[in-house]
Amino acid sequence: MLSKSQIKLIKSLSQKKFRNTHGLFVVEGIKGVREFLNSDFELFSIYSTGERFKVQKDLLNLIDERELKKISSLKTPQKALAVFKIPESKEIELGGIIVALDGVRDPGNLGTIIRLCDWFGIETLICSKDTADCYNPKVVQASMGSLTRVNIKYLDLKEFLVGQTEIPVLGTRLEGENVYNSILPNPAIVVLGNEANGISEEIGSLLDGKITIPQFGKVQETESLNVATATAIILSEFRRNSTTEK
Amino acid sequence: MLSKSQIKLIKSLSQKKFRNTHGLFVVEGIKGVREFLNSDFELFSIYSTGERFKVQKDLLNLIDERELKKISSLKTPQKALAVFKIPESKEIELGGIIVALDGVRDPGNLGTIIRLCDWFGIETLICSKDTADCYNPKVVQASMGSLTRVNIKYLDLKEFLVGQTEIPVLGTRLEGENVYNSILPNPAIVVLGNEANGISEEIGSLLDGKITIPQFGKVQETESLNVATATAIILSEFRRNSTTEK
């Protein structure tokens, strides 16, 4: 049985302020819950329509479909929902390729970018404070467990970039150099910007290099690639060298 | 003033069967409507909260926000909604890079792929009959006017691939050759598969070549890239050659 206070708590976690107050977030679906259980994330409680997880008994709540519907944020609830503790983010290790997001607002885009970081072996993702929250349910859903493998750090991006001078900072700008012809450094920090406005002026002035994905079609100049697909292409370019040089 | 029959017609166009019956689809937002007005698409009717479009008077309906809300499928209606006629799709011209989708079901993914085709100058997008409908409102929204510049053809993909022997057919498969080390032909047909199952067995057996995007992280083997981000990377690889060879 679900108590009223459990329902209230879980539903409140769809909002960032309550996630921060409680230090908790929600994962839905059997596959997703399993991935978080197999990671360093600490379980707070689990709600399942069947005995399918080996966890501490007092953390497991067997519920029925009707009850799950009450706490799920999905149109079609996925048999299990778990609440995990938001971990302290680890310190940033400067090395390899680091991705930095400057105001990416769409949870779906952030989720896709986290998944791309995971795929391309990017261990650290830096987010400006106005970037979408990575524990937003839509981000958790879209990142599909990659959230357990990428270290995500929210910070004042300007302060961070001013403070670090070891590693070159590259960003995507329309007037940048053709990414296919650029020599891409490693280590590097790669900055991607907001969906509507790209990289802010403030952050733009801190870039050591500007790159762009050239356009081949008859698209109007004002159009741009979606930030998640741009990230896919840029990370692919950074990584292709390490395989083709073999 | 909006008539009941207008409201009924426009609302029905959120469903594929009614789009096909009427041969009409909906575009929302000032920018989107402008792009379609400036294209070869034929206007059927337009609903706007202000005089902002130069169109035949009898096709323009000035309405208020409240009325727009009744016909809009968006949470926040975007000042204008237009109904356009679904055009006959043009014959496929075999040449250059052609993208073929085998059962891509998510409208957002299809929209992103259409936008990518536009960006990378891919003129023809072939879709299997079980691929999402490109006139689905979510696809129209996600493709952002690129729909006016890419020729999209729905057909029996198996029959088409069996019937054409001129152009090599490549597809993404986990066991494929590393795309970064592959010599990518041009012209070529590049096949991308369903979100959950990839390319079907049936279509897989018709491929002349298999390519894959290598994985660099510690991701489980069962994970894969989202089909839209995979398309971004594959098309980028096809196009990079033409710039780096310059």
pLDDT in tens, B124-165: 999 999 999 999 999 999 998 899 999 999 999 999 999 998
Cα atoms found within 13 Å of the Cα of residue B236, Cβ hemisphere only = 27
Confidence grade of residue B246 (pLDDT, cut at 50, 70, 90):
very low
Q: What confidence score (pLDDT) does residue B245 get?
A: 44
Mean pLDDT on A2-24 = 97
Establish if B181 touches chain A: CB-CB under 8 angstroms.
yes
- Which among A217, A232, A242 has CB closest to B118? A217
Residues of chain A with C-beta less than 8 angstroms from the C-beta of B112: 226, 229
Q: What confidence score (pLDDT) does residue B221 get?
A: 57
Quick one: closest CA in A to B35, which residue?
A220
Quick one: closest CA in B to A116, which residue?
B225
Residue ranges of chain A assigned to CATH 3.40.1280.10: 97-244
Query: Cα(A162)–Cα(A206) distance, rounded to whole angstroms?
Result: 7
pLDDT in tens, A160-196: 999 998 999 999 998 999 999 999 999 999 999 999 9
Establish if B160 touches chain A: CB-CB under 8 angstroms.
no
Mean pLDDT on B6-35 = 97
Structure tokens at A23: 């230090």
Mean residue pLDDT across chain B? 93
Q: Which CATH number fits domain A97-244: 1.10.1040.10, 1.10.10.10, 3.40.1280.10, 3.30.497.10?
A: 3.40.1280.10
pLDDT in tens, A138-162: 999 999 889 999 999 999 999 999 9
Pairs of CB atoms within 8 A across A/B = 115
Starting at the edge strand found earlier in the chain, the sheet holding B60-62 runs B24-28, B80-85, B43-48, B60-62
Question: Is the pLDDT confidence value at A242 over 50?
Answer: yes
The percentage of chain A sitting over the pLDDT mark of 90, rounded to a whole number, equals 88
Q: What confidence score (pLDDT) does residue B242 get?
A: 65
Residue ranges of chain A assigned to CATH 3.30.1330.30: 4-85
Task: Write down the ipTM of this complex.
Answer: 0.91
Mean residue pLDDT across chain A? 93
pLDDT in tens, A50-66: 999 999 999 999 999 99
What topology is assigned to A4-85 in CATH?
60s Ribosomal Protein L30; Chain: A; (3.30.1330)
Pairing of strands B124-128, B151-155: parallel
Burial of B51 (0-12, 13-18, 19+ CB in 10 A): exposed
The percentage of chain B sitting over the pLDDT mark of 70, rounded to a whole number, equals 96
pLDDT in tens, B22-66: 999 999 999 999 999 999 999 999 999 999 999 999 999 999 999
Mean pLDDT on B80-90 = 95
Structure tokens at A109: 């885009």
Confidence grade of residue B105 (pLDDT, cut at 50, 70, 90):
very high
